[in-house]
Chain A
Amino acid sequence: MRGSTKVPLKKCVLLIVLATLILAAGSGPVSGAVLAPTGAGYDANLCVDCHSDSSKVDDTSAASDWMDSIHSENDIGCERCHSASVPSGRLAADDAFGGSYRDDHVDLILEEETSYKAPSAFEIEGSTTDYSTVVSVGLERQQSVAICARCHGLTEIDPDDPKDVFQDYIQSAHGQSVVVRGLGDPSKVSDHTGLTDAAVCVDCHDPHATATKDDPDSPTHEDNRFELCITEACHGGDEVTAKYGMSNSLTSYAETQHGVIAIYGSADDAESVPACADCHKNIESSHKIQPASDPDSPMNPANIAESCADTDCHGVELSLGAGSMHGKDADTTIAGLINLFYTIIIPPIVGFFALYILLDFTLLIGKKGGE
Chain B
Amino acid sequence: MSGEDIERFTKWQIIQHALWAFAFLTLLITGLALKYPENFLSQAVIGTLGMGLRANLHRFTGVIFWIVGIVHIVYYIAIDRGSKPILPSLQDGKDIVQDIKYHLRMSDEEPKYGRYTWIEKFDYWAGAAGSFIIGITGLAMWQSYGGPAGFGGANLLSGLSLQVYNWFRLIHGWEAILAGSVIVMLHFYMAIWRPGNFPMAMQIWTGKMSRHHYEIEHPLELEELDKGKK
Contacts and interface: CB of A to CB of B under 8 A. Distances in A.
A315 interface: yes
A265 B51 contact: yes
Contacts of B155: 319
A291 to B, nearest CB: 16
Contacts of B52: 268-269, 272
Nearest to B165: A320
B97 to A, nearest CB: 13
A322 B162 contact: yes
Interface string A324-362: 110101101011001100100110011001101101110
Q: What size tier do the contact residues of chain B reach?
A: 35 or more
A314 B145 contact: yes
Interface stretch (A126-134, A150-158, A204-212, A363-371): A363-371
A261 B33 CA distance: 11
A303 B170 CA distance: 25
A349 B182 contact: yes
A323 B161 contact: yes
Interface string B125-158: 0000000000000000001111000000001011
A359 B185 CA distance: 14
Contacts of A263: 37
Nearest to A259: B37
Contacts of A257: 34
B178 interface: yes
Interface string B165-203: 111001100110110011001100100011110000000
A269 B144 CA distance: 21
B104 interface: yes
B78 interface: no
Interface string A231-272: 000000000000000000000000001001101111011001
Nearest to A272: B52
B159 interface: yes
A34 interface: no
B38 interface: yes
Contacts of B26: none
Contacts of B164: 323
A65 to B, nearest CB: 36
A365 B195 contact: yes
B160 interface: yes
A332 B161 CA distance: 13
Is chain A's binding surface mostly helix, strand, loop or mixed? helix
A325 B162 contact: yes
A15 interface: no
Contacts of B160: 319-321
Given A269-B52, A318-B144, A338 B38 contact: no
A324 B143 contact: no
B17 interface: no
Contacts of A349: 178, 181-182
Contacts of A368: 195
A29 to B, nearest CB: 44
Interface string A87-123: 0000000000000000000000000000000000000
B110 to A, nearest CB: 9
B103 A361 contact: no
Nearest to B170: A338
A325 B167 CA distance: 12
A369 to B, nearest CB: 10
Contacts of A361: 189, 193-195
Nearest to A318: B145
B174 A342 contact: yes
Contact of B50 (A268, A334, A353, A365): A268
Nearest to A367: B195
Given A322-B162, A323-B161, A364-B196, A266 B51 contact: yes
B163 A323 contact: yes
A314 B55 CA distance: 14
Interface in B179-230: 181-182, 185-186, 189, 193-196
7 A-B pairs with least C-beta separation: A323-B162, A265-B51, A269-B51, A342-B174, A264-B37, A364-B195, A359-B103
9 contacts: A264-B37, A272-B51, A314-B145, A342-B174, A350-B182, A361-B195, A363-B103, A364-B194, A364-B195
Given A264-B46, A361-B189, 20 more contacts: A263-B37, A264-B43, A319-B155, A320-B157, A320-B162, A321-B162, A322-B161, A334-B163, A335-B166, A342-B174, A342-B175, A345-B178, A346-B177, A356-B103, A357-B189, A359-B104, A360-B194, A364-B194, A364-B195, A368-B195
